[in-house]
Chains A and B, each alone.
Chain A
Amino acid sequence: MSTIVLLLITGLGLGALYFLVASGLSLIYGLMDVLNFAHGSFLTLGAFAGWEFARRFGADSWGTFLLSLLVGAAVGAIFAVLTELLLIRKLYERLIEQVLVTVGLALATVALFEGIWGQDPIYLTAPAWMGGQTNVLGASIPNDRFLYIAAAVIVLIAIVLFLKFTRFGLIIRAGVENRSMVTALGIDVRSAFTLVFAIGGAAAGIGGVLASHYNGYVSPYIGGSLLIFAFIVTVIGGLGSLSGAAIASAVVAVLQQFANYHWGIGDLVVVLLLAAVLLLRPSGLLGSKA
């Protein structure tokens, strides 16, 4: 029993990180049909920014930690917005080239991060509580997992409220369904493009700071390694579906933890799950686009 609880909660903690990356990927793809390979770099830069901030202001205090999340979010958002304005927008309606540009950006920025911060992991410190454990139904759960889950839930709620109750949210939801009809109602849908990049970049930046605590270090590669799983989660959940991304994040990560614990083949199970879902339901669990 305690093993199950442990795997479940640690799985959800990992799923929270997946969601922070996948939510932006899914919104961006849903609205713009762009598979954003640079998303991992948003995350990595957010992580480095959070770390640079925290080490200057005392990494073991809660205040610094929370502010480092904000710094990560802001840096991720700015990076994402610049990407959209300077690269993606230049290639309006040229979908393949937009994807290619994000591939180039991912390759170039990872190399740049290597140049600036080196290839080796940089270990970091956190508020002491995060290193401790809490007993839940007999299982000792590392405290940081609760934090990841809480952060993902807050981000999810914030995005849902934004989508539901603002005009921009309305435009984004409509655009995900039928972009050209939105423009045919006299709305400049491109402002929504910039906005989803900002939202996705901010979520990825938060995800970056948290992922660096999850790993215990920052490195130029943390974005890339999460990105592949986030892609898988996004596709399984259904491209463009936020709730799909949330559910798939949880399912995939929990499954991965269980498979890892019992047979040591978590990654493989995720891959097989993706293949199975795509073959049975090509549009993903909650997707409507083919």
Chain B
Amino acid sequence: MSNATQTTNKPSVMDFLTRPAVKWVLGALLVGFLALLPMLNLSIPGVLPGATYTPGTLQLLAFTMLIAGLALSYHLIFGVAGLLSFGHALYFAAGAYGLGIVLRRFEMELIPAIVITLVVGLLIAGVVGAVSLRVTGIGFAMVTLAFAQAGSVLVRRNADWTGGDEGLALDTTHIPDELVGVLNTRNLYWVCLAVLVLVFLVTSWFEKSRAGHVVAATRENELRVRVIGIRPYFVKLLTFIVAGVLATIVGMAYLLLQSSATQKIITADFTLTLLVIVVLGGVGYRWGAVIGGVVYTLLDQRLTVLAGSEAIAGLPDFLRIPLSEPLFILGTLFILVVLFLPGGIAGLAKRVTRGRSNVRAERDVLEEVV
């Protein structure tokens, strides 16, 4: 409110930058820049572990982009449709484990294996969505959680298919050589970038489509949507399936990048991490989900490095113990964001650039969920 005087009629730089066409051009430039990174020798000490062309850094960046993509798919369910799902990890795991199992068991080429895994992801999302959307609110959250738990149990119990506690290693027999090995990390990096761009485009397109508008309207007022003669169930199901399939795609890229799938990607904690990321970035903002994913992953990585550092080891216990637990710091940060920064990072950025105090409105966006 104190900045209200800034909002004059003169076109400001910010207004220009937020015009749709300009936004897309900027986005394309950013993607082009990211695509060039493996060829560049850039270093950001403290944020990245090494220069941008090194495999270690590329691996981290690629991983970050996948988490951002996964968070985007969760944004579709939570931020757009307003459905609090606790089982989104299931579709991601379906992609990673599905592709791994198809490659190993059926000895297929990569492309048909991907197609089959996609169909499997689609079917799982369709069935789970169709069932769980019959209940609302906390009931929905619990049914999605229950199905994800069921998936987790299946993975644990069928160790000869999934590798059990060991995890499932990628069978590289039918993977093109360009996508295998540390030396080819840059190719995998490009694959992951492409996946993120794909997920972003699909998400944008979906949000702007008729179904996207209707599902956003159901979030705000289910009754009104019913009144205009649309059954909210089907648009919600469509959203659920689109988000699930996107997560499956990201999961497949994850398997290629990490060369293995482990049980932690199908736990409830993993879905909770996605929730944390989306809230951290700003519920309802596409960019928020991406930025949340990037910030969370890089922070997690850096904090882990910090935890092992000598500076920390020398501290007294009451400082050393909390500071050497990345999840403690991230969890605390998350609590602070919820308490004091409704709208997350994207909301904050918007308030700063627009010079408006929108805390109320941000909170209301959140309250419409469920």
**Contact flag (A, B; Cβ within 8 A):** yes
Bound Cα distance A29, B141 (Å): 14
**In-complex Cβ contact of B150 among A111, A235, A268, A278 (8 A):** A268
Tell me the smallest distance from the CB of B252 to a CB of chain A, in Å: 25
How many whole Å from B99's CB to the nearest CB in chain A? Answer: 24
Q: Residues of A with Cβ closer than 8 Å to B? A: 29, 35, 37, 87, 90-91, 94-97, 99-101, 103-112, 114-116, 224, 228, 231-232, 235, 239, 264-265, 267-268, 271-272, 274-275, 278-279, 282, 290
One of A87, A103, A271 near B275 (C-beta < 8 A): A103
A-B complex: 4 closest residue pairs judged by Cβ atoms: A108-B331, A111-B327, A107-B331, A111-B328
Chain B residue with Cβ nearest A103: B272
Task: Determine whether the beta carbon of B153 is less than 8 Å from that of A267.
Answer: yes
Complex-state Cα separation, A29 to B328, whole angstroms: 26
Chain A residues contacting B332 (CB-CB under 8 Å) are 104, 108
Closest A residue by C-beta to B149: A271
The A contact surface, by secondary structure, is helix
**Given known A239-B138, A278-B135, A278-B139, contact A100–B328 (CB-CB < 8 A):** no
Which of A37, A94, A232 is B142 in contact with, Cβ under 8 Å?
Answer: A232
Q: Which residues of A contact B142 (CB under 8 A)?
A: 231-232, 235, 274, 278
Q: A62 to B342, alpha carbons, bound, how many Å?
A: 50
Our count of residue pairs bridging A and B at CB distance below 8 angstroms stands at 128
Would you call B276 an interface residue if the criterion is a C-beta within 8 Å of the partner chain's C-beta atoms? Answer: yes
Q: A103-B276, A231-B145 are in contact. Are A114 and B325 (CB under 8 A)?
A: yes
Check if B17 is an interface residue, CB within 8 A of chain A: no
Contact of B335 among A105, A115, A116, A239 (CB under 8 A): A105
Q: Tell me the minimal C-beta distance from A281 to chain B in angstroms.
A: 10
* A-chain residues with CB within 8 Å of residue B153 when the two chains form the complex: 265, 267-268, 271
Q: A108-B335, A235-B138, A265-B157 are in contact. List 9 more A-B contacts (CB 8 A).
A: A96-B369, A97-B342, A97-B367, A112-B321, A235-B142, A239-B138, A275-B131, A275-B147, A282-B135
- Does B326 count as interface, using CB distance less than 8 angstroms? yes
CA distance A109 to B325 in the complex (A): 10
The answer to whether A279 touches B326 (Cβ under 8 A) is: no
Q: List 22 A-B contacts (CB under 8 A).
A: A37-B272, A96-B369, A97-B338, A97-B342, A97-B367, A104-B332, A104-B338, A105-B331, A106-B272, A109-B331, A111-B327, A112-B328, A115-B321, A228-B145, A232-B142, A232-B146, A265-B153, A268-B150, A271-B149, A272-B150, A278-B135, A278-B139
